[in-house]
Amino acid sequence: MAQSTPSARPNQLFRNLNSKIASIPMIFVALVIFLGGSIWTIVYSFTNSRLLPRANFVGFDQYERLWASSRWIISIQNLAIYGILSLIFSLVVGFVLAALMDQKIRFENVFRTIFLYPFALSFIVTGLVWQWILNPDFGIQGIVRSLGWETFEFNPIYDADIVIYGILIAGLWQGTGLVMCLMLAGLRGIDEDIWKAARVDGIPMWRTYIFIVIPMMRPVFITTLVIIGAGIVKLYDLVVAQTSGGPGNASEVPAKYVYDYMFQAQNLGQGFAASTMMLVTVAIIIIPWAYLEFGGRKRG
Which of 139, 142, 229, 246 touches other proteins by CB under 8 A?
246
Q: Which of 2-10, 32-40, 257-265, 279-287 is the region at the interface with other proteins (rule: CB under 8 A)?
A: 257-265
Considering the rule CB under 8 A, would residue 52 count as an interface residue with other proteins? Answer: yes
Contact between 37 and other proteins by CB under 8 A: the answer reads no
Q: Which stretch binds other proteins (CB under 8 A): 24-32, 140-148, 221-229, 244-252?
A: 244-252
Nearer Cβ to other proteins (53/229): 53
How many angstroms separate the CA atoms of 129 and 157, rounded? 13
Under the criterion CB under 8 A, does residue 103 sit at the interface with other proteins? Answer: no
Q: How far apart are CA 223 and CA 4, in angstroms?
A: 51
* Residue 51 near other proteins by CB under 8 A: yes
Distance between the two ends of the chain, CA-based, in angstroms?
50
Of 130, 175, 118, 123, give the one whose Cα is nearest residue 155.
130
The answer to whether 267 contacts other proteins (rule: CB under 8 A) is: yes
Beta bridge partners of 47: 57
Residues 145-164 that bind other proteins (CB under 8 A): 158, 160
Q: How far apart are CA 143 and CA 149, in angstroms?
A: 9
Helices (H), 155-264: 163-188, 192-200, 205-207, 214-216, 218-233, 237-242, 254-259
Question: Judged by CB under 8 A, which of 141, 208, 270, 276 binds other proteins?
Answer: 270
Cis amide linkage into residue 247, ω under 30° from 0: yes
Contact between 122 and other proteins (CB under 8 A)?
no
Give the binding site for other proteins (CB under 8 A). 50-52, 65, 69-71, 135-137, 158, 160, 244, 246-250, 260-261, 263-267, 270
